[in-house]
């Protein structure tokens, strides 16, 4: 059967190419082993799944029901958790399937965004994507009838980051701003990214606290200003700091972030903020990055890695404050909601005191 006839045979059913499954299976096999894949398939089978039961039976160019894909994602999340699911999404573009072929079309994020519609139609027989570059390091992707289930929206949010990462840029963020499962008539993602990792890594950066970073919510701004102060001190002295000092800095950032993000998330839940999940996902990305760098630091930190970490933290924080946090602040102000001043926990005070002493030693 030709490809066109194959599609016509399923014109009333949402289908995707087999290449999609290869990236999922490859991730599971490498992270959880053959036993992990067996657990997923057995659980899917008990729920009525009757699709391919191993990688050998899947053909890259063949069309398969999208229901199989959704079932796989839900089962994986149930067994291994949301965080691992998001890692799968982000790493999928690095794994075998159609993605590598598509990335040959685009050497930069701008071209890739513009061709996102072509990419989508090569893998799915339903819906459409429209990618628009909105400025330097910024784009919007709109999706029409692209998500059969909310879990796929979450998957695509992280997947887009994985795709753009392949072009070599840094500090990528992806925010799902409109969702058809929450009443919108289409999906929308706002994407932002920094400079290419191939750029001069010795470039230094500093955050100047200004109006663009002020949310108008005193407690949020107070905590952000402390973040900015520490980052700027580390930035100025990164070349002088010892490996031990930089490791302590990473640990402090992770520690402080858990308190700060926890404060924000407490009020999001308290006030039923509609974008709580997507905002929390941005926080998890920060946690994952700092944990990954802390792990790498056990084997030593050279100046190049230190500068890379510093650049990532600064770029991420600026983008997060100016976009994700500002959106939450607007929600609070428009609804006359209040965030009380949070007393800093004793362990955070101790960590901050140690950090200030460390800065003096730089």
Mean pLDDT by 10 residues, the chain (362 residues): 37 80 82 88 85 71 87 94 90 61 58 85 91 93 96 94 83 93 95 69 61 87 86 66 68 85 93 93 86 72 64 79 90 92 84 77 60
- Residue 92 DSSP symbol: G
Instruction: Name every residue whose Cβ is closer than 8 Å to that of residue 250 and which is 6 or more positions away in sequence.
Output: 290, 293, 294, 297, 309
Distance separating alpha carbons of residues 46 and 38, to the nearest angstrom: 12
Distance separating alpha carbons of residues 75 and 48, to the nearest angstrom: 12
Distance separating alpha carbons of residues 4 and 115, to the nearest angstrom: 21
Q: What is the DSSP string of 168-202?
A: TB-S-EEEEEE-GGGT-SSEEEEEE---BTTS-TT
Contact 201, 308 (CB under 8 A): yes
Distance separating alpha carbons of residues 147 and 66, to the nearest angstrom: 10
Distance separating alpha carbons of residues 224 and 32, to the nearest angstrom: 38
β-pair partners for 64: 16
Distance separating alpha carbons of residues 113 and 39, to the nearest angstrom: 36
To the question of domain 108-192 being in CATH 3.40.50.720, the answer is no
Burial of 362 (0-12, 13-18, 19+ CB in 10 A): middle
Q: What is the pLDDT of residues 312-343, one digit of tens each?
A: 777 788 888 888 899 999 999 999 999 988 88
Contact 13, 65 (CB under 8 A): yes
Integer CA distances (angstroms), 210 to 57, 137, 178, 217, in order: 57, 21, 29, 14
β-pair partners for 139: 133, 191
β pairing state of 15-17 and 63-65: antiparallel
What is the model's pLDDT at position 105?
42
What is the model's pLDDT at position 202?
44
Distance separating alpha carbons of residues 157 and 160, to the nearest angstrom: 6
- Return the sign of the alpha-carbon dihedral for residues 258, 259, 260, 261: positive
Closest by CA position to 304, among listed 174, 234, 201, 154: 201
Q: Which three-class secondary structure state does DSSP give residue 330?
A: helix
CATH number for 211-361: choose from 3.90.1720.10, 3.40.50.720, 1.20.120.50, 2.102.10.10.
1.20.120.50
Give span(s): CATH 1.20.120.50, the chain: 211-361
Rg (CA), the chain: 22
Q: What is the pLDDT of residues 104-160, one digit of tens each?
A: 444 578 888 888 888 898 889 999 999 999 998 999 999 999 999 999 999 999 999
Give span(s): CATH 3.90.1520.10, the chain: 108-192
What is the model's pLDDT at position 6?
38
Q: Which three-class secondary structure state does DSSP give residue 115?
A: coil
What is the model's pLDDT at position 98?
42
């Amino acid at each position: 059967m030709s490809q066109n006839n194959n599609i016509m045979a399923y014109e009333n059913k949402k289908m995707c190419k087999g290449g999609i499954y290869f990236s999922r299976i490859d991730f599971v096999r490498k992270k959880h082993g053959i036993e992990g894949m067996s657990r997923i398939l057995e659980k899917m089978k008990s729920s009525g799944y009757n699709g391919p039961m191993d990688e050998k039976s899947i053909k890259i160019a063949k069309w398969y029901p999208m229901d199989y894909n959704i079932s796989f994602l839900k089962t994986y999340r149930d067994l291994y958790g949301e965080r691992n699911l998001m890692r799968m999404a982000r790493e999928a573009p690095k794994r075998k399937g159609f993605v590598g072929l598509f990335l040959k079309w685009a050497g930069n994020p701008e071209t890739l965004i513009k061709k996102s519609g072509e990419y989508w139609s090569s893998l799915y027989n339903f819906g459409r994507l429209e990618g628009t570059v909105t400025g330097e390091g910024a784009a919007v992707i709109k999706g029409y009838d692209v998500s059969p289930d909310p879990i796929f929206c979450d998957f695509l949010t992280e997947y887009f980051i994985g795709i753009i990462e392949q072009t070599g840029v840094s500090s990528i963020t992806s925010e799902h701003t409109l969702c058809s499962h929450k009443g919108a008539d289409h999906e929308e993602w706002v994407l932002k990214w920094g400079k290419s990792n191939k750029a001069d890594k010795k470039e230094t950066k500093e955050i100047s606290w200004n109006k663009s970073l002020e949310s108008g919510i005193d407690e949020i701004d107070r905590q952000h200003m402390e973040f900015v102060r520490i980052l700027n001190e580390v930035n100025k002295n990164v070349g002088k700091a010892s490996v031990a000092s930089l490791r302590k800095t990473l640990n402090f950032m992770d520690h402080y972030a858990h308190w700060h993000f926890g404060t924000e998330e407490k009020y999001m839940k308290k006030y039923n903020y509609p974008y709580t999940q997507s905002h929390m996902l941005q926080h998890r990305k920060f946690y994952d990055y700092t944990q990954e760098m802390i792990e790498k630091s056990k084997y030593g930190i050279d100046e190049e890695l230190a500068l890379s970490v510093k650049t990532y933290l600064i770029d991420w924080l600026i983008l997060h404050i100016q976009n994700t946090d500002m959106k939450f602040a607007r929600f609070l102000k428009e609804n006359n909601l209040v965030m009380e001043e949070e007393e800093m926990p004793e362990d955070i005070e101790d960590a901050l005191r140690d950090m200030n002493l460390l800065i003096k030693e730089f």
